[in-house]
Chain A
């Protein structure tokens, strides 16, 4: 089989330069991608923390309030207590939904 013709020195130098430039550009793209991924993860974590510290905490408090009041008034005002218990369950369901979202946004804990 005939060997491939060798490139003139000038062309080989250009090719080497282009190859080096391409490798540099590829490395720069990888660094950028890494930076974008890290920024997105930080933003997800910030959002998860904000949801946990605000809406989730409030819903937890409201759920507790409804459940405590439902129990407190079960004997004296059973209909109102039943409504409160139902409300408490609805809030509980919504809070679990929110927690699923928060967990999906939050990076896993280090073991």
Chain B
């Protein structure tokens, strides 16, 4: 069984998720890992808050009540690219291509093992360290 990883680079994560339980448990996990989490539950809220969040990673659900997460990166008009991960219950090739085209580096199929998320966050941290 996996335990909480002991060596984690703390990241500032902007989480967009409209499902209350998923948001709660994902936030709890990420905070336990030492990350800072800011969140939004709708596309509109995310578009408004993301540019001011100055985050290292965007972790966004695709199915949102007022639109889809694929619109987020374009509409938020970020001053610089951010390591972005899409989360969706749909994972066909077309879904993954759409995520890539929308600027997401990875398309995480829900439900996912936390190991998968850990790997992606480790990649984000490594990339961030290289860019500094």
Contacts and interface: CB of A to CB of B under 8 A. Distances in A.
Interface of A: 52-53, 56-65, 67-68, 70-72, 74-75, 78, 81-82, 85, 91-92, 95-96, 99, 102-103, 106, 108-111
A70 B111 contact: no
Interface string B49-64: 0000000000000010
Nearest to B109: A99
Given A103-B90, A109-B98, A65 B2 contact: no
Given A61-B19, A92-B111, A68 B98 contact: no
Interface of B: 1-4, 19-22, 24-26, 28-29, 32, 63, 89-92, 94-95, 97-98, 109-111, 113-114
Contacts of B109: 99
A60 B63 contact: no
A84 to B, nearest CB: 9
Nearest to A91: B111
A29 to B, nearest CB: 33
A103 B26 CA distance: 25
Nearest to B29: A68
| Among all A-B residue pairs, the 7 with the closest Cβ atoms | A61-B21, A109-B94, A74-B3, A64-B25, A60-B111, A63-B111, A61-B22
A64 B94 contact: no
A91 B2 CA distance: 17
Given A52-B89, A65-B25, A99-B89, 17 more contacts: A57-B89, A60-B22, A60-B111, A68-B25, A68-B32, A68-B114, A71-B29, A71-B32, A74-B2, A74-B4, A81-B1, A85-B1, A92-B111, A95-B110, A96-B111, A103-B92, A111-B97
Contacts of B21: 58, 61-62, 64-65
Nearest to A60: B111
Contacts of A63: 111
B1 to A, nearest CB: 5
Counting chain B CB atoms within 10 Å of each CB, the highest count among A62, A68, A102, A106 belongs to: A68
